[in-house]
Amino acid sequence: MNAEIIAVGSELLTPARVDTNSLYLTEELNALGVEVVAKAVVGDDRKRLAEAVRTAVSRSEIVITTGGLGSTEDDVTREAVADALGRKLVYHQEICDAIEARFRRLGRRMAQINKRQAWIIEGAEGLDNSEGTAPGQWIPLDERKVLLLLPGPPRELKPMFTRDCVPRLRKIVPPQVIRVRRFRVAGMPESDLDQLISPVYKRYSNPVTTVLAAPGDIQIHLRARSATNEEAERLLKEVGAQIEALLGDHIYSRDGQPLEAVVGRRLAVRGAWLAVAESCTGGLLAQRITAIPGASNYFKGGFLVYTDEMKRDLLGVSAALIEKETAVSKAVAEAMARGVRERTRADFAVAVTGEAGPESGSGRPVGTVWVAVLSPEGMRTEHRQWLGDRERIRILAAQQALDLLRRTLEHR
Amino acid sequence: MNAEIIAVGSELLTPARVDTNSLYLTEELNALGVEVVAKAVVGDDRKRLAEAVRTAVSRSEIVITTGGLGSTEDDVTREAVADALGRKLVYHQEICDAIEARFRRLGRRMAQINKRQAWIIEGAEGLDNSEGTAPGQWIPLDERKVLLLLPGPPRELKPMFTRDCVPRLRKIVPPQVIRVRRFRVAGMPESDLDQLISPVYKRYSNPVTTVLAAPGDIQIHLRARSATNEEAERLLKEVGAQIEALLGDHIYSRDGQPLEAVVGRRLAVRGAWLAVAESCTGGLLAQRITAIPGASNYFKGGFLVYTDEMKRDLLGVSAALIEKETAVSKAVAEAMARGVRERTRADFAVAVTGEAGPESGSGRPVGTVWVAVLSPEGMRTEHRQWLGDRERIRILAAQQALDLLRRTLEHR
């Protein structure tokens, strides 16, 4: 079954505001087995909104509008929906009385303008608003089709949806189980990954596969629908196993956890301590590691050695080595890792040095990065050359360092 | 003139992702004097997308799609737009060659699948993608009407829009002067700020004032429209001066620059060096400082002292002091700042220690933070107690430390 969500409000068409109600509604609808197939944002414009509602109800079984139910002239959802459906608005004195009572309880007099909220679409059911004045509306269009008008403020919308709409929707949505698997992959360009795995997942419409790419980090979401738990899990396993076979070691997470959490869990299980030395990433690596609650159980800290002087003074990297190899080199990355392990007595030391740009300080091209991991089993280094701006290179460098650490922890 | 934005991608119809490109585009379009009247999100569905494009071009002068231009089977924007306009797709060998050359520069072989990106709508102009492979497309529909296809990744979309689209749009948009002023404020709750300044800005419909709040950082945008530059600037000055008088020292930026850039500029002008010691922020502070290009001219580096052991071993904070005062205390913050200045010989040393949660390690309540700034003029410390989760407390702590440094640099 398909749903569409229409967010109403001119403020959602400014650079300052984004519609977040639809994220909550999508989560709830997916849990019922309903797909959200389109979302729209429309300003406080009766004609445009009527048009959007007409289009949505013509093609989807569940249509939800959010916002525009308040008391001001700007609030045009009721009128627009009446236009779209060709139905009348009916005044409900009992709703007006309830709004007035609410104001009284708050020790205030109801402004006349609030009466606007007592108009309900012909054939609709009013939905109580426990957190505000504007009632929602449940408008059955036919046996398996419904239009829902919800208030805009999240704290009014959420309880109304959970309490009054979910149970009603359950009666019209065919029962269905949904199971999700979330793989995460490091160190692979999206196009390479997709070329590898799309021949697999394209063969299946269930589970549905979505590939989400961020710099150095790709998520693969498999979503299976079925009548039973077992069948949904079987579908996930069937497709998931083929994807795992193709991606192998590139997969770092099978439950959606970020790389820093995966690494943290492995360190904690092993009872090992980690320390870092960062040059070009300037704290980004440590910041990710310490974003995980409980990081103090395996992360000691380390060194920010942004200048050559700091590499020498804080980590004991020799001036001659920097002179000879430049600060962005295998030898310096290794010397940094050795320096940090010596000074912190951590079991694992990670070092990153590189040129993030926009200009090169070391003479190496912008985008050159060396990472080193010194473990009880020895030293490993990796070199990369990336294109992109400063932010992207720093993100990729931190990701590469974490991923080398992850692979070192997995393959000891 | 009206614009509509259509974001393409099934991932934008999940609870995990929200379309943020449209916020950037709205800001840029507004700056040109163009209103955004509707936004839509459509999945990777050729038929639905074609329908959305057809509707949008029938009623708005500028229509922009974002996403769906990549190399995979999921990327259907090209085909859907061809369907919607009833135009052919034309293969451009030179675009394919450019993509292949880009891969070669990165030392990689181009996957065949990337050829899909060389198809351009008949009559369209390809727009160079300096940050990725998928070209954008500028499709004139008539003299004052255009359809624009942009790539989804923000780091590809933004430079393409600024560089190639804004100048072209200027030629079809009626001229209007728009001037913007961006104040940024640290260390003030949004409700306090709004109570203070809303009596001023509510009196003016031109400039339009927007208040954008993030943890510890509020932006106030004033947007004036006029026929002339002088009049727009006069309007900004009239309202801006009143806001400045009310907020005083809380304003750290009058041109929208972030706090780390403001601090960096002051250090660079003074020819002074900075170093840091971070406990609870775990690299977040340094990461922000080093995000600014040229930070190596004033930032030396510093210490990540996540455990008590590191505070002792790397910075010389005495075990007895930590025992007596706990690691989250004024005395330890000061000792950290002294330790880092001694070891780095920086002019300014900043130290942060606190409890980010979810559990307390020091015995102090979660949300307790101490920041210290040691400058040539002496030591300054500040204490805060915040509510919120780990991420929020870390963000607020880094912001507080930077802002104390900013005030120290301003008031010497």
CATH number at residue A125: 3.40.980.10
The answer on B206 and B168 residing in a single domain is: no
Tell me how far apart the alpha carbons of residues B133 and B115 are, in angstroms, rounded to a whole number.
Answer: 10
Interface check for B113 against chain A (CB to CB < 8 A): the answer is: yes
What is the four-CA torsion angle of B335, B337, B341, B346, rounded to 10 degrees? -170
Which is nearest to A27 in space by CA: A156, A162, A175? Answer: A162
Number of residues in chain B = 412
Cis amide bond preceding A199, omega within 30: no
Count of CB pairs separated by less than 8 Å, A with B: 230
Name the residue of chain B whose CA is nearest to A214's CA. Answer: B153
Residue B160 and residue B216 in one domain: no
Tell whether A153 and A244 lie within a shared domain.
Answer: no
* Domain boundary, last residue among B150, B172, B194: B172
Number of domains in chain B: 3
Any idea which residue has 């580096």 for tokens? B301
Answer yes or no: do B163 and B192 share one domain: no
Inter-chain contact A18–B13, Cβ cutoff 8 Å?
Answer: no
Candidates A66, A47, A58, A25; CA nearest to B37 is: A47
pLDDT tens, position by position, B361-380: 888 999 999 999 999 999 99
| Whether the predicted pLDDT of A226 surpasses 70 | yes
- The verdict on B35 and B96 lying in the same domain is yes
pLDDT at residue B356, as a whole number: 94
Q: Please indicate whether, in this complex, the C-beta atoms of B36 and A13 are within 8 angstroms of each other.
A: yes
- Residue in A183, A184, A181, A185 with CA at minimum distance from that of residue A206: A181
Task: For strands A125-127 and A136-142, give the pairing.
Answer: antiparallel
Asked if B111 lies within 8 A of A191 by C-beta distance, the reply is yes
Taking an 8 Å cut-off on Cβ atoms, the answer to whether B38 and A43 are in contact is yes
Q: What residue ranges in B143-291 does DSSP mark as E strands?
A: 145-150, 177-186, 208-214, 217-226, 251-253, 274-278
CA distance B256 to B253: 6
> Over the stretch B183-207, which tens digit does the pLDDT of each residue have?
999 988 877 888 899 899 989 989 9
For residue B213, the model assigns a pLDDT of 79
Q: Are residues A296 and A393 in the same domain?
A: yes
What average pLDDT does the segment B384-412 reach?
93
Query: If we measure between CA atoms, which residue out of B303, B309, B213, B344 comes closest to residue A277?
Result: B303
β-bridge partners, A149: A65, A137
Residues A14-69: tens digit of each pLDDT: 887 889 999 999 989 988 889 899 999 999 999 999 999 999 999 999 999 999 99
Q: Read off the CATH number of the domain in which A382 is found.
A: 3.90.950.20
The more confidently predicted of residues B100 and B347 is B347
- A residues 187..206 contacting B (CB < 8 A): 189-192, 194-195, 198, 202
Predicted confidence band of residue B218 (pLDDT cuts 50, 70, 90): very high
Rounded Cα distance between B237 and B240, Å, is: 5
Q: What is the pLDDT of residue B361?
A: 83
Give the closest of A221, A304, A343 to B301, CB-based: A304
Chain A residues lying within 8 Å of B43, measured CB to CB: 37-38
- Which has the higher per-residue pLDDT, A345 or A18? A345
Residues 6+ apart with CB under 8 A from B276: A304, B285, B286, B289, B301, B302, B303, B340, B349, B350, B351, B352, B401
Closest CA of chain B from A412, distance in Å: 26
The reply to whether B11 touches chain A by the CB within 8 Å rule is yes
- Which H or E run contains B304? strand B299-305
Of all residues in chain B, the percent with pLDDT exceeding 90 is 77
Q: Quick one: three-class SS letters along chain A?
A: CEEEEEEECHHHHCCCCCCCHHHHHHHHHHHCCCEEEEEEEECCCHHHHHHHHHHHHHHCCEEEEECCCCCCCCCCHHHHHHHHHCCCEEECHHHHHHHHHHHHHCCCCCCHHHHHHHEEECCCEEECCCCCCCCEEEEEEECCEEEEEECCCHHHHHHHHHHHHHHHHHHHCCCCEEEEEEEEEECCCHHHHHHHHHHHHCCCCCCEEEEEEECCEEEEEEEEEECCHHHHHHHHHHHHHHHHHHHHHHEEECECCCHHHHHHHHHHHHCCCEEEEECCCCCHHHHHHHCCCCHHHCEEEEEEECCHHHHHHHHCCCHHHHHHHCCCCHHHHHHHHHHHHHHHCCCEEEEEEECCCCCCCCCCCCCEEEEEEEECCEEEEEEEECCCCHHHHHHHHHHHHHHHHHHHHHCC
What does the pLDDT look like over B299-350, one tens digit per residue?
A: 999 999 999 999 999 999 999 999 999 999 999 999 999 999 999 999 999 9
Contacts of B17 in chain A (CB under 8 A): 212
Q: Do B41 and A39 touch (CB under 8 A)?
A: yes
Residues 6+ apart with CB under 8 A from B25: B5, B36, B64, B66, B157, B161
Domain span at residue B23 reads: 2-172
For B28, nearest residue in chain A (alpha carbons) = A15
**pLDDT value at A70 more than 90:** no
Of the three residues B172, B195, B214, the one that is the final residue of a domain is B172
| A220 strand-pairing partners | A183, A211
AA identity, residue B262: V
pLDDT in tens, A71-98: 877 889 999 999 999 999 999 999 999 9
Q: Is the pLDDT of residue A210 over 70?
A: yes
For residue A385, the chain B residues in CB contact (below 8 A) are: 106-107
What is the per-residue pLDDT for A184? 97
Is any Cβ of chain B less than 8 angstroms from the Cβ of A14? yes
pLDDT of residue A10: 86
Q: How far apart are CA A306 and CA A352, in angstroms?
A: 11
Nearest chain A Cα to B24, which residue? A15
Q: Which of residues 75-104 of B touch A (CB under 8 A)?
A: none
Average pLDDT, chain A: 94
Query: Which residue is closest to B17 within chain A, CA to CA?
Result: A23
CATH number, domain with residue A242: 3.30.70.2860
How close B387 gets to chain A, by Cα (Å)? 16
If asked whether residues B168 and B221 sit together in one domain, one would say no
Binding-face residues of A in 34-53 toward B, CB within 8 A? 35-43, 45, 48, 52
Inter-chain CB proximity A287 and B282 less than 8 Å: yes
User: Which tops the pLDDT comparison, B11 or B60?
Assistant: B60
- Using pLDDT thresholds of 50, 70 and 90, give the confidence band for residue A258: very high
Stretch B54-63: mean pLDDT: 96
Statement to judge: residues A303 and A184 lie in one domain: no
Compute the distance between CA of residue B360 and CA of residue B326 in angstroms, rounded to an integer: 11
Is pLDDT at A261 greater than 70 in this prediction? yes
Q: Are strands A145-150 and A136-142 parallel, antiparallel or unpaired?
A: antiparallel
Closest approach of chain B CAs to the CA of A83, in angstroms?
19
> B188 to chain A, minimum CA–CA distance in Å?
19
CB < 8 Å from A in window 333-392 of B: 343-344, 357-359, 361, 390-391
Q: What share of chain B is helix, strand, coil (3-state, %, to 5)?
A: 45, 25, 30
Phi and psi angles of residue A389, each rounded to the nearest 5 degrees, phi first? -85, 175
Q: Do A290 and B303 touch (CB under 8 A)?
A: no
Contact A344 B40 (CB under 8 A): no
Residues 259-318 of A with CB under 8 A from B: 276, 278, 281-291, 293, 295-296, 299-307, 309-310, 313-314
Distances in Å between the alpha carbon of A43 and those of A20, A228, A372, B298?
16, 42, 53, 47
Pick the residue of B45, B73, B218, B290 with the most A CBs within 10 A to test the interface with A by mutation: B290
Neighbours of A255 (CB within 10 A): 10
Q: How far is B84 from chain A (nearest CA, A)?
A: 16
Checking DSSP bridges between strand A35-42 and strand A2-8, what pairing results, if any?
parallel
A401, A376, A398, A404: which is closest to A271 by C-alpha? A376
Residues A272 and A219 occupy one common structural domain: no
The SS3 call for residue B13 is: helix
pLDDT value for A412 = 57
Q: A287-342: per-residue pLDDT in tens?
A: 999 999 999 999 999 999 999 999 999 999 999 999 999 999 999 999 999 999 99
Q: What pLDDT does residue A11 have?
A: 84
The minimal CB distance from A194 to the residues B72, B302, B313 is found for B72
Which residue in chain B has the smallest CA separation from A28?
B15
The Cα A276–Cα A373 span in angstroms is 9
Q: Are residues B191 and B328 in the same domain?
A: no
Window B:237-256, CB contacts with A under 8 Å: none
Is the Cβ pair A295, B306 closer than 8 Å?
yes
Same domain, A244 and A267: no
Kindly state the tokens that stand for A368. 């050159």
pLDDT at position B74 over 70: yes
CB atoms within 10 A of CB B387: 9
pLDDT category of residue B108 using cuts at 50, 70 and 90? confident
Angle, CA B293 vertex, CA B291 and CA B298 arms, to 5°: 90
Query: What is the mean pLDDT of the segment spanning A193-212?
Result: 91
Indicate if the pLDDT at residue B412 is higher than 70.
no
Closest CA to A302 of A287, A317, A320: A287
**Cα B132-B134-B139 angle, rounded to 5 deg:** 130
One domain for residues B87 and B234? no
Question: B115-171, pLDDT tens digit by residue?
Answer: 889 999 999 999 999 888 899 999 999 988 999 999 999 999 999 999 999 999 999
Mean pLDDT calculated for residue range A377-388: 95
What is the Cα–Cα distance from B261 to A243, expressed in whole angstroms? 44
Domain final position from B157, B172, B187: B172
Q: Suggest the residue from B13, B18, B60, B178 to mutate for an interface test with chain A (most A CBs closer than 10 A).
A: B13
**Residue whose C-alpha is closest to residue A304's, from A285, A319, A323:** A285
Q: Residues with Cβ < 8 Å from A41, sequence gap 6 or more? A: A6, A7, A8, A9, A12, A13, A19, B38, B39, B40
